[in-house]
Chains A and B, each alone.
Chain A
Amino acid sequence: MLAETPENAGYMVAAYVVTPVILVGYLALLWRRMGGKTEGRKDGETG
């Protein structure tokens, strides 16, 4: 007799949520840094 497939979809959902949170969060951080640097150039910043 085959063993019953375990009910553990909640763990999968947690992993599938946390992955884009980390990756998109990091990309957003870089995007913000990019925005800050571009803004600095617009302001005529030299340093």
Chain B
Amino acid sequence: MTGETAAAALARRGLRLSLLALLGLAGVYVLALGYTPVEARQGMAQKIFYLHVPAAWSALIAFSLVGVTSALYLWLHDPRLDRFAAASAEVGVAFSAVMLTTGPIWAKPIWGTWWTWDARLTLTLFLFFLFIGYLALRAAVHDPAERARFSAVVGILGMLLVPFIHLSVYLFRTLHPQPVVLKPSAPSLPPEMLRTLLIATVVFTVLYVGLVTLRYGLGQLQDVRDEAADAG
């Protein structure tokens, strides 16, 4: 199997997994709307929770993995690590877009405002813009080794924001609620809500894996072609 065929096969596997995850997302809609109870104080708007939280989870995992693989790239200089970081950053931006649109839509009926410049929201928006910058940097630098080195530094700096974002609700006064699952004590949710949230998180994680696999395969395909062009 040539490099080009292997990359195309990987991209197709990613596409299939992503489509499967989108079917899972339809299942999450059925669960959230038909199975989980309506929260008494927040009403139907609370059901945004089953999309907003898993999207935030996937985005923060994506950006954390960009940082880890970027650090490993600076150490090992393996182009596969740079390719993974690029794929994870792009997919992370897509999940961040979901997080940053569903968040204000949920905030408006509950907080009475679309947006507030508190630590959690501001840092998250900053992280989003930082990774937009990361993608712009990758598009602007054409030498592969330079591109990988420069973007690895930005990727590591982006990862450093992730723990601050998670802990910001403890460190600063904020309207944003504290974690209900990822916290030292037991999850503070009724079982039906917790089950739906966990299933949604699994579905979003599978979607992350599918999209990154697809994006990685496309990156590999491009690299194989660039190498062939350079050799020819």
- Which A residues contact B (CB, under 8 angstroms)? 2-3, 5-9, 11-12, 14-16, 18-20, 22-24, 26-27, 30-31, 33-34, 37-38, 40-41, 45-47
A11 near B106: Cβ-Cβ < 8 Å: yes
Shortest C-beta distance, A41 to chain B (Å), equals 7
Residues of B within 8 Å of A2, CB to CB, are 40
Beta-carbon contact of A12 and B47 below 8 Å = yes
The contact sample of 15 A-B pairs, CB cut-off 8 A, is A3-B40, A5-B38, A5-B43, A6-B41, A8-B45, A18-B98, A23-B94, A26-B211, A27-B214, A34-B12, A37-B218, A40-B225, A46-B225, A46-B228, A47-B225
Which of B43, B106, B232 counts the most chain A CB atoms within 10 A? B43
Contacts of B218 in A (CB 8 A): 30, 33-34, 37
| Distance (whole angstroms) from the CB of B15 to the closest CB of chain A | 7
Check if B94 sits within 8 Å of A22, measured CB to CB.
yes
Q: Which of B163-192 contact A (CB under 8 A)?
A: none
How many Å from the CB of A17 to the closest CB on chain B? 10
In chain B, positions 2-51 with a C-beta closer than 8 Å to chain A are 4, 8, 11-12, 15, 18-19, 22, 25, 29, 38, 40-45, 47-48, 51
Q: Which residues of B contact A8 (CB under 8 A)?
A: 42-45, 109
Query: Which of A7, A15, A34 is B11 in contact with, Cβ under 8 Å?
Result: A34
List of B residues within 8 angstroms of A19 by Cβ: 25, 51, 55, 98, 101-102
Contact status A30-B43, CB under 8 Å: no
Does chain A have a CB within 8 A of B66? no
Q: Which residues of chain B are within 8 angstroms of A33 by Cβ–Cβ distance?
A: 218
Whether A15 contacts B52 by the Cβ 8 Å rule is: yes
B86 proximal to A (CB < 8 A): no
Q: Which residue of A lies closest to B18 (CB)?
A: A27
Q: What are the residues of chain B within 8 A of A20 when measuring CB–CB? A: 22, 25
Q: B197 on the interface (CB 8 Å rule)?
A: no
> In the complex, what residue of chain A is closest to B94 when comparing beta carbons?
A26
Q: Which of A5, A27, A34 contacts B40 (CB 8 A)?
A: A5
